[in-house]
Amino acid sequence: MQAISFNVKLLVQKTPLWVQVATVMKLKVPPDYKHVVMPARNRLPLLPKQPEPLNSHFPFPKMQKKLYLMRGPEPVHNDIIYGEFAIQALEGGRLRFAHLESIRMQVIRKMNEKTTFAHYRVPPPWQSVTKKPLGHRMGSGKGSIDRWEVPIKPDRIIIEFGGQVEFKEVQRLMETIRGFLPFKARVITRQDLKEEKQRAEELKDKNMNPFSYRKCAMDNMLGMKHKLSPYTIEFDGKYR
């Protein structure tokens, strides 16, 4: 009986045991952060809800809509300066104090301040927006100031992240912040932004097509001019 039980044990199939080993060939070299300069304060500052009055005797001025501040590409704040990753606006819009405060609270809760820093690229709310009470009749002049906002143009950098951190470590936080914005935006890195600009310049240099968007619109080809706005023609169909 002992011989039979011994032979049965030999016939039983055993599960193989796999041991994972990190060899030198599979080991990923960590990035070098010697060039990174961490700021004295890593957190985002608490921005004021409204601008300070110039004089205590005069109220805040009531402003117009100024829609031109949200049209066309951003000429200045369209590149990453302080960090390596950023959130960039894809269309025009306005940011309120509630949006900026939501961004700040997410950064406080989910960002590691020992290795990461964040930096605003937008000013505090400065444009006054008026509103009349609900059910009020039209007339009687312009309404009272209801809130303060900051206009944003397409391609503007909203917030930057940097430090001794990789992109995958802050990507989830940046995607969450992107969802809080009242307009379309994207998460982008410094390297991706640089490659996009190089690709655009290369296409512009190698383009041999004489019929550009602006030329077709100005010559009214196929009767398209009456369907386009002056701003669409001015910005070559890229922006409204």
Which structural domains are found in the chain, ordered by start?
29-132+140-207 (3.90.1170.10), 210-240 (no CATH)
Q: Long-range contacts: 184-189, Cβ < 8 Å, 24+?
A: 184/89, 184/90, 184/91, 185/87, 185/88, 185/89, 185/90, 185/158, 186/87, 186/88, 186/90, 187/85, 187/86, 187/87, 188/80, 188/85, 188/86, 188/87, 188/88, 189/80, 189/84, 189/85, 189/86
**Parallel/antiparallel/unpaired status of strands 116-120 and 127-131:** unpaired
Q: How far apart are CA 91 and CA 83, in angstroms?
A: 22
How is residue 222 annotated by DSSP? G
Q: Note whether 239 and 154 are within 8 A (CB).
A: yes
**Mean pLDDT for the chain overall:** 89
pTM over 0.75: yes
pLDDT averaged per 10 residues in sequence order, the chain, 240 residues = 56 69 71 88 90 81 92 94 95 96 95 93 95 86 92 96 94 95 96 95 91 90 89 87
